[in-house]
């Protein structure tokens, strides 16, 4: 047997600090996701396809058995949380604005072909940690609020499994923190709509249980959006 599991078992049993399981879920797909259009803080709702996608994730959610659901207040996340809660028989959803999507300002509503004509975006695309978005947020600030939401919720609910329903870039940055992965690598983590991620936290240690758990594995090999835009584009979630 490999030695890695012995180390993990020891760390997970250590006393003190925050303890619990964070289950992260990205909201279901919206029409803007399919178009590769930047949503940011826009109140874009799930359509019928997006609702069906989240409904298909309910059996996975039942197996993961969260005891508490915390959601971004943005409508697409809240709707996704409500579908999961209904499938689990959970009656309460807690909203936390720290789980809201990145504030992209004037980029919101734009598609990749539009963004390529924006000098700020071209610089940001190549060096996303150097400066804030037009909405005024840096990725370090995004990560800080997402991690704070997870850690404070786990601290207030010791030992419980908490499902956090949020957005692509929030989840990416939170995972980087718990994986001790440099934030410059946040775009290397695939975050599909209506997928789950699992982290067990024990004090200063975290074990990643799974990434991008999906009820439709074929989706993970598709491009991130379906519009006919230049290769390499990325739609904000």
pLDDT tens track for 167-203: 999 999 999 999 999 999 999 999 999 999 999 999 9
Query: Could you tell me the residue ranges of all domains in the chain?
Result: 18-103+137-221
Question: Could you read off the pLDDT of 49-106 as tens digits, one per residue?
Answer: 999 999 999 999 999 999 999 999 999 999 999 999 999 999 999 999 999 999 999 9
CB-based contact 116:90 (threshold 8 Å): no
Cα radius of gyration rounded to whole Å, the chain: 18
CB 161 within 8 A of CB 24: no
- Taking only the tens place, the pLDDT of each residue in 210-230 is 999 999 998 889 887 765 544
CB burial string 57-94: b at 16+ within 10 A, e below: bbebbeebebebbbbbebebbbbbbbbbbeebebeebe
Instruction: Name the DSSP class of 101.
Output: P
Rounded to whole angstroms, the Cα distance separating 24 from 69 reads 10
d(CA 149, CA 142): 11
pLDDT tens digit sequence for 116-127: 999 999 999 999
pTM: 0.93
Say which CATH topology domain 18-103+137-221 has: Rossmann fold (3.40.50)
Is 211 exposed, middle or buried, given 0-12, 13-18 or 19+ CB atoms closer than 10 A? Answer: middle
Q: What is the pLDDT of residue 12?
A: 87
Parallel, antiparallel or unpaired: strands 161-166 and 68-71: parallel
- d(C-alpha 50, C-alpha 55), whole Å: 9
Q: How confident is the model at residue 13 (pLDDT cuts 50, 70, 90)?
A: confident
Confidence of residue 115 (pLDDT cuts 50, 70, 90): very high
């Amino acid at each position: 047997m490999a030695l890695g599991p012995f180390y993990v078992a020891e760390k997970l049993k250590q006393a003190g600090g925050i303890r619990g399981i964070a289950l992260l879920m990205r909201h279901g797909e919206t029409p803007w996701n399919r178009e590769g259009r930047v949503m940011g803080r826009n109140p874009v709702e799930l359509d019928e396809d997006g609702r069906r996608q989240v409904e298909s994730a309910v059996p996975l959610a039942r197996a993961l058995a969260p005891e508490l659901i915390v959601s971004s207040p943005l409508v697409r996340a809240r709707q996704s949380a409500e579908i999961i809660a209904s499938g689990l028989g959970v009656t309460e959803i807690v909203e936390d604005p720290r789980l809201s999507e990145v504030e992209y300002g004037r980029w919101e509503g734009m598609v990749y072909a539009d963004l390529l004509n924006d000098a700020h975006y071209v610089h940001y695309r190549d060096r996303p940690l150097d400066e804030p978005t037009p909405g005024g947020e840096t990725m370090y600030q995004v990560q800080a609020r997402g991690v704070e939401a997870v850690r404070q919720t786990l601290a207030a609910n010791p030992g419980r499994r908490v499902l956090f329903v949020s957005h692509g870039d929030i989840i990416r940055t939170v995972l980087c923190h718990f994986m001790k992965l440099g934030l410059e690598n946040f775009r290397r983590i695939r975050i599909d709509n209506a997928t789950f991620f699992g982290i067990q936290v024990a004090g200063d240690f975290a074990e990643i249980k799974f990434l991008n758990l999906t009820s439709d594995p074929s989706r993970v090999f598709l491009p991130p959006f379906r519009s006919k835009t230049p290769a390499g584009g990325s739609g904000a979630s």
